C-alpha cells in the first residue's frame, strides 16, 4: 500500500473525507501529549475510515535520544496508540498490531487482571469500557479482513 501525504486524504464520500481530514490534528496532539516528541515533522496517511479510525506514519522530533523518530499512530473514535515501526511495515500491519494490543487490554479487564503492564487506555478498566472497546475492535478487524 502506498502511504499518501495527509494533504491527499480522501474518503469514499465528502463526509468521509471531512472526517478523515480531522485525524491528522488528533494524531499530532496525541503524539505531542505523550511528552516523547517535541514536534511532528510529517504525517503520512496510511488507511482509515472517516469517523472511525486513521493510521498514520509519523516522523517526529524526539524529546530524548532513546525515542524513535518514526512511529505509527492510530487515532479516531477509539483509544489512540503509537507503535514503533521496527516490525510493522505497513498501515494494515499497524492496524492489526493495534487490535492485538487493545484486545490484550480487553482480556485483562474481563479477567479482573491488572492493565498496568499494557498499552494505556485513558478510561477506567471496567467491564463496560472493555465491552465497548471490544465492539470497536471487532469492527476494525472486519474492516481489515475486507482489505485482504
pLDDT tens, 47-98? Answer: 999 889 999 999 999 999 999 999 999 999 999 999 999 999 999 999 999 9
Of 145, 147, 143, 119, whose CA–CA distance to 50 is shortest? 143
- 3-7, 39-43, 59-63, 117-121: least confident range: 3-7
What is residue 1's predicted lDDT score, i.e. its pLDDT?
47
Taking the C-alpha atoms of residue 49 and residue 142, their distance in angstroms, rounded to an integer, is 12
Q: Across-strand partners of 42?
A: 59
Specify the DSSP element, H or E, that contains 90.
none
Helix 91-110 × helix 127-147 angle, to 10°: 150
- Give the count of alpha carbons within 13 A of 51, CB side only: 9
Hunting for cell 492510530 — which residue is that? 74
Q: What count of other Cβ atoms lies within 10 Å of the Cβ of residue 96?
A: 15
Contact 100/133 with Cβ under 8 angstroms? no
* DSSP one-letter string for 15-82: HHHHHHHTHHHHHHHHHHHTTSEEEEEEEEEEEEETTTEEEEEEEEEESSTTS-SEEEEEEESS--EE
Q: Is the pTM of this model over 0.85?
A: yes
Amino acid at each position: 500500500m502506498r502511504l499518501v501525504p495527509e494533504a491527499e486524504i480522501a474518503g469514499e464520500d465528502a463526509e468521509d473525507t471531512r472526517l478523515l481530514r480531522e485525524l491528522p490534528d488528533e494524531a499530532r496532539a496525541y503524539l505531542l501529549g505523550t511528552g516523547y516528541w517535541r514536534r511532528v515533522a510529517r504525517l503520512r496517511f496510511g488507511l482509515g475510515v472517516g469517523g472511525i479510525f486513521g493510521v498514520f506514519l509519523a516522523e517526529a522530533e524526539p524529546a530524548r535520544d532513546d525515542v524513535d523518530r518514526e512511529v505509527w499512530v492510530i487515532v479516531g473514535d477509539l483509544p489512540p496508540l503509537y507503535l514503533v515501526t521496527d516490525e510493522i511495515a505497513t498501515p494494515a500491519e499497524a492496524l492489526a498490531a493495534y487490535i492485538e494490543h487493545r484486545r490484550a487490554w480487553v482480556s485483562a479487564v474481563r479477567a479482573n487482571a491488572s492493565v498496568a503492564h499494557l498499552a494505556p487506555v485513558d478510561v477506567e478498566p471496567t467491564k463496560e469500557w472493555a465491552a465497548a472497546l471490544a465492539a470497536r475492535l471487532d469492527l476494525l478487524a472486519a474492516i481489515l479482513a475486507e482489505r485482504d
